[in-house]
Structure 1
Amino acid sequence: MTAHPSPDHHPSTRPSGPQTFSGEPFGARLRRAMDERGPLCVGIDPHASLLAEWGLGDDIAGLERFSRTVVEALADRVAVLKPQSAFFERFGSRGLAVLEKSVQEARAAGALVVMDAKRGDIGSTMAAYAEAFLRPEAPLFSDALTVSPYLGYGSLSPAVALARESGAGLFVLALTSNPEGGEVQHAVRADGRTVGATMLAHLAAENAGEEPLGSFGAVVGATLGDLSSYDLDMGGPLLAPGIGAQGATPADLPRVFGAAVRNVVPNVSRGVLRHGPDAGALRGAAERFAAEIRQAVTAA
């Protein structure tokens, strides 16, 4: 049986060291990071309002200061950092250079990096997106990538294949927290299953036989309430946005995710980031969320 953090475990006091990437499957690396550091994922979301709250300009210097501060404060203690690619892309090539450096420095400090880029296309274009983020020698190589399956799950095949080859992972949009998502994800197919349930079934097939955790996860919003009609225990991780500013709390996790709660990677962005630019305040906020999540998961 996989060991889980005990209630008195404090991830910030015994962080694991820098990663040496060996091609070990993402699921195995994520399980270890969650057990050692707790399951918290913190977003790196340098949108204009947060830059202003930090007293920074909405420019490349502000972007660089923001990203560097978050990485230096948290990458040696949280399991996962999740940069939102769009907030870097809006600054063009210089923004992408900041993103590259942030990813590389976060991974060097021991955090796993999930690139939140939500890529989705077909054929050679999907393959090119996969090469950009999942090929180990690529400048933006990340431990996992968020992808959209809504051109059909099979459209993700190039990303699935390269993730398997490189030891990276995917988080597939399945049951998202935005209200508009329901018109697609809760739509019922001819076989009686919803589209979201179909995505979870595909992921269960990808993860079959993988221990201690599969590398192909789903994005499932923590704000969605009772999901007991969905089989969330599909052998892979569940990236769960919505805690903090969007209204969900760590105490909601067992109710929403049920038996799959130990595979949940709760994402908090503004709830931590609004405490910057002071590094100590960022660490304190992350530790408080981590403790609340640990308590909720342990009690489940």
Structure 2
Amino acid sequence: MNEPFGARLRRAMDERGPLCVGIDPHAALLAEWGLADDVAGLERFSRTVVEAVADRVAVVKPQSAFFERFGSRGIAVLEQTVAAARAAGALVVMDAKRGDIGSTMAAYAESFLRPDAPLYSDALTVSPYLGYGSLKPAVDLARESGCGLFVLALTSNPEGGEVQHAVREDGRTVGATVLARLAAENAGAEPLGSFGAVVGATLGDLSAYDLGINGPLLAPGIGAQGAAPADLPRVFGSALRDVVPNVSRGVLRHGPDVSALRGSADRFADEIRSVLAAA
């Protein structure tokens, strides 16, 4: 078994800073870069982002959907992107948000968390909204292979609240229940558990929720979605050190110039470090 994801992530965050850069080659960004909306454009975009940031940021997060839309050739580019990013020293979180039951969930887990799989990644985003227990095949394989999961808990999209803020019979919200289940998964793990939550950086005061899950908190929303590194202490409070802020468009809009991409990633990383040091 590999060293657990949580331990590898903590070391990467300590050495490189906690920034995660998304790799989101959607059509509008390809056009902004002067690239065609085709496989060649996809490959050029992804290769450039990896070249620019994978040797300096802790985490990169490819969004699988933007590769899948090109079919098998797009998936081949995704395989190349994952392998190149990991070879450059970045941890790869595959943003696929998979969620299903039984053998189907097991197959999704094997696609991304089995060490000999072509799309093998350090961690995978998953959805618990078929019931947290439906994630068991992914949890089990992640433990076995030393990978991690990021479970959707408190997402920043407006629609998420109708499920995540719904109150159960025991008085807890669904989102709070997901966090509690993750805390149980991470019990006793050192220096950090491998089972994280996705918690939006745009959500404001979350003091009503116990974010102390002894695992990482992937925080989308920095940059184009309106949140800034300075907002992180107010949102995450005492769990700040475990936050992995994600920036996608805020960095990617500076392409295709490699030095500009690097400069943007470095500025976000430095700003996040300053926030952590002052907290």
Normalising by structure 2, we get a TM-score of 1.00
Q: Could you tell me how far 1:298 is from its partner in structure 2? A: 1.3
Equivalence for 2:219: 240
Does residue 220 of the first structure (1) align with residue 199 of the second (2)?
yes
Is the partner of 1:258 in helix, strand or coil?
helix
Q: Could you tell me how far 1:57 is from its partner in structure 2? A: 0.2
Does residue 277 of the first structure (1) align with residue 277 of the second (2)?
no
Is the partner of 2:214 in helix, strand or coil?
coil
Does residue 59 of the first structure (1) align with residue 38 of the second (2)?
yes
Does residue 134 of the first structure (1) align with residue 113 of the second (2)?
yes
Question: Which amino acid is the alignment partner of residue 199 of structure 2?
Answer: V
Q: Distance in 2 between matches of 1:190 and 1:297?
A: 38
Deviation beyond 4 Å, 4+ runs, structure 1: none
Counterpart of 1:121 (choices 100, 103, 112) is 100
Is the partner of 2:233 in helix, strand or coil?
helix
Equivalence for 1:84: 63
Counterpart of 2:2 (choices 10, 16, 23) is 23
Q: Runs of 5+ in structure 2 lacking a partner? A: none
Question: Which amino acid is the alignment partner of residue 46 of structure 2?
Answer: S
Equivalence for 1:263: 242
Is the partner of 1:213 in helix, strand or coil?
coil
Question: Which amino acid is the alignment partner of residue 177 of structure 2?
Answer: T
Q: Distance in 1 between matches of 2:201 and 2:271?
A: 15
Equivalence for 1:12: none
Does residue 169 of the first structure (1) align with residue 148 of the second (2)?
yes
Deviates more, 1:287-296 or 1:219-228: 287-296
Is the partner of 1:242 in helix, strand or coil?
strand
Equivalence for 2:184: 205
Is the partner of 2:259 in helix, strand or coil?
helix
Question: Which amino acid is the alignment partner of residue 163 of structure 1?
Answer: A
Per-residue CA deviations over 1:197-235 (Å, capped at 9, x if unaligned) read: 000000000000000000000000000000000000110
Does residue 295 of the first structure (1) align with residue 274 of the second (2)?
yes
Is the partner of 1:130 in helix, strand or coil?
helix
Per-residue CA deviations over 1:133-168 (Å, capped at 9, x if unaligned) read: 000000000000000000000000000000000000
Q: Could you tell me how far 1:37 is from its partner in structure 2? A: 0.0
Question: Which amino acid is the alignment partner of residue 58 of structure 1?
Answer: D
Q: Distance in 2 between matches of 1:136 and 1:73?
A: 26
Per-residue CA deviations over 1:36-85 (Å, capped at 9, x if unaligned) read: 00000000000000000000000000000000000011111000000000
Equivalence for 2:171: 192
Per-residue CA deviations over 1:231-269 (Å, capped at 9, x if unaligned) read: 001100000000000000000000000000000000000
Q: Distance in 2 between matches of 1:286 and 1:233?
A: 27
Does residue 154 of the first structure (1) align with residue 136 of the second (2)?
no
Question: Percent identity, aligned pairs only?
Answer: 86
Q: Distance in 1 between matches of 2:274 and 2:54?
A: 22
Q: Distance in 1 between matches of 2:276 and 2:96?
A: 28
Question: Which amino acid is the alignment partner of residue 104 of structure 1?
Answer: A
Q: Distance in 1 between matches of 2:226 and 2:51?
A: 27
Is the partner of 2:225 in helix, strand or coil?
coil
Does residue 45 of the first structure (1) align with residue 24 of the second (2)?
yes
Q: Distance in 2 between matches of 1:102 and 1:183?
A: 35
Q: Runs of 5+ in structure 1 lacking a partner? A: 1-21
Is the partner of 1:33 in helix, strand or coil?
helix
Counterpart of 2:53 (choices 74, 88, 112) is 74
Normalising by structure 1, we get a TM-score of 0.93
Q: Distance in 2 between matches of 1:125 and 1:160?
A: 14
Q: Distance in 1 between matches of 2:168 and 2:204?
A: 22
Counterpart of 2:75 (choices 63, 83, 96) is 96
Q: Distance in 2 between matches of 1:269 and 1:88?
A: 16
Q: Could you tell me how far 1:297 is from its partner in structure 2? A: 1.3
Question: Which amino acid is the alignment partner of residue 265 of structure 2?
Answer: A
